Structure 1
Amino acid sequence: MPNQPQHPIPQEAFDWYDEYAHGDITRREFLARLATLTAVGVSMSALTAALTPDYALAEQVSFNDPEISAEYLTFPSPEGHGEGRGYLVIPKGLQGTAPVVLVVHENRGLNPYIEDVARRAAKAGFIAFAPDALYPLGGYPGNDDKGRAMQKSMDRSKIEQDFIAAAQFLKNHTMSSGKLGVVGFCFGGYITNMLSAAVPDLVNAGVPFYGTPPAREIRAHIKAPLLIHLAELDKRVNATWPEYEADLRANGQKFTMHMYPGVNHGFHNDSTGRYNEAAAELAWSRTLEFFQTQLS
């Protein structure tokens, strides 16, 4: 489990990283802004160490863990890119069926952190499947910056169709109990919301971590209960919450929102300085309890 960074990183750095990661500013502008912080005594190396993922820190469950079995599988996606690929993790020795959980990555492809989240879900007794939106371009490239650029270059509507196809594939898996949960982070939080609205008969429970809402015209279709995790310092996503909350209430839909104080967008990602161990563990324990209740 990684420790919190030893250097005091100004909040502006995290805010600018969020803008950069979501395409609001260029890499050049991001680095130029970071350079201004060195004048107040924060070294560039400390800043980049806090903001750049170190995926060695994110392995909570080894891919060799004897309690799970993992493999990469392809699935048909006729309305998307034709074929998708994902990381399937099954509790070893599973007899019969189990609830299934779709794990959706951020806006940079299936990186090692998200694969580890899938293994964590399998360790908790679920069949987990984590698709890679970048598969049509060769898959996650091993570098987040390149992965973001690749995903940004793709047709978003086809990516959404790929995740719809992945949800169908997983729910119909031979070992599936027929109960599907979806959990996603950042872009994956949006996909969780979107799937809950776009294919409401497929999704039985949704857990978006700091994700933006689905298109307003389909929000009323949501049937599954939602467990929504938001970060207090996440200005971009939080700005979308009041309208989404109002629509959920107006439609009589079941949801619980937890706002985690003093943490940033991405607080669950234990590979960067945005990680907050206490908030991440609490949110994950709530997620597993929610799935155990809703998917049983």
Structure 2
Amino acid sequence: MTNKANITKAPEKQPSMQIPQEAFDWYDEYAHGDIDRRTFLRRLAGIAGAGITLATLSTALTPNYALAEQISFNDDDITATYQTFPSPKGHGEGRGYFVTPKVVDSKLPVVLVIHENRGLNPYIKDVARRLAKAGFIAFAPDVLHSLGGYPGNDDQGKKMQSSLDKNKIEEDFIAAANYLKTHPQSTGKLGAVGFCFGGYIVNMLAATIPETLDAGVPFYGTPAKAELRKNIKAPLLIQLAELDKRVNAYWPEYEADLKKYNVDYEMHMYEKANHGFHNDSTARYVPTMADLAWDRSIDFFNKHLATT
């Protein structure tokens, strides 16, 4: 049983363009629907200057998915397709990005990849490819499937996702987890990794379908409802960013419950990192921290999804 919380020190060398912390905080508010785009840009305009223009700030903080491809969809070591699955308690049918190692001679452990609050964007698809490159079968559902899928624009994706019934969204991911665990190519060992909203979904799955999930890695995700936490059985690798005040406010209470219910967990707090530090499409990205968090995630899945 592991119950530990660690602080990972920030790299000594910081990015060359120093963006004021309040700009990251405002982007987090904007990304989660607490302020609109006009308010976000107005606030940025108030701190622009001293060599950093409004356009530079806005561009740095807004995702540029051309930067977010570490593994090409044409990579010779993987095969990427799309698969649908039934979701009778959700939106009827789900669809996701299904990626396997190129040659699958036997069944493999499977990992559900859960997007942020804007649908299946290119960054999340790349995360699925990274998992396949590491030897897992990865499946990244798009909760916007019932509305036509991720629209290619994050602002529109956020509006679309916020229009959906939250309970049905959760049922879609429960259905996706069950579909993936019982997939013909699966060993029956299921992991889940998610980011932001997806981190919440990982925590929710651990508390809602404890017999299904074998390992969970929530990146900066809020916890499941307090009354459900006693159900958690899967080991958790919890990745948090020190400057993420919104999500971190939940951690003391969540950790107390994890200890109370004897959950096997590790928490890593990444010093001076912002919410979204793993996402390599914006200025929030911290390469050394993201790489370390990812290596820890792969090691965690290798340990807990092994069949022997």
Aligned to 1:271: 281
Alignment identity in percent?
Answer: 67
Counterpart among 187, 190, 198 of residue 208 in structure 2: 198
1:232 pairs with 2:237: no
Q: How far apart in 2 are the matches of 1:117 and 1:50?
A: 21
Q: Which has the higher contact order (CA 8 A, sep 6+)?
A: 2
User: Counterpart of 2:198?
Assistant: 188
Q: Secondary structure at the match of 1:134?
A: helix
- 1:106 equivalent in structure 2: 116
Q: Which residue of 2 aligns with 1:92?
A: 102
- CA deviation string 1:61-89 (max 9, x = no partner): 00001111010111000000000000000
Q: Any runs of at least 4 consecutive aligned residues in structure 1 with deviations exceeding 4 A, and if so which? A: none
Whether the aligned pair in 2 keeps the contact of 1:229 and 1:259 (CA below 8 Å) is: yes
Question: For residue 166 of structure 1, what is the amino acid of its counterpart?
Answer: A
Structure 1 residue runs of 5 or longer lacking an equivalent are none
Q: Contact between 2:214 and 2:305, CA under 8 Å: does it hold in 1? A: yes
Alpha-carbon offset, residue 48 of structure 1 = 1.1
Tell me, in whole angstroms, the C-alpha distance in 2 between the residues paired with 1:220 and 1:257.
18
- Partner of 1:7, secondary structure, is coil
Aligned length: 293
State the shift of 1:31 in Å. 1.2
What is aligned with 1:73? 83
Bigger mean CA deviation after superposition, 191-200 or 22-31: 22-31
Which consecutive residues of structure 2, in runs of 5 or more, have no partner in the other structure?
Answer: 1-13
Determine which of 82, 86, 107 is the counterpart of 2:92. 82
Deviations 1:157-206 (A, max 9, x none): 10000000000000011010000000000000000000000000110000
Q: Tell me, yes or no, if structure 1 residue 285 matches structure 2 residue 291.
A: no
Q: TM-score, normalised by structure 2?
A: 0.94
1:134-283 pair list within 5 angstroms = 134-283=144-293
Contact 2:41/2:58 (<8 A) preserved = no
Q: Which residue of 1 aligns with 2:70?
A: 60
Q: Give the match's secondary structure for 1:246.
A: helix
1:203-237 CA deviation, whole Å, 9 max, x = no partner? 00000000000011100000000000000000000
TM-score, normalization: structure 1? 0.97
| Structure 2 Cα separation of the partners of residues 209 and 49 of structure 1 | 24
Offset, 1:39: 4.5
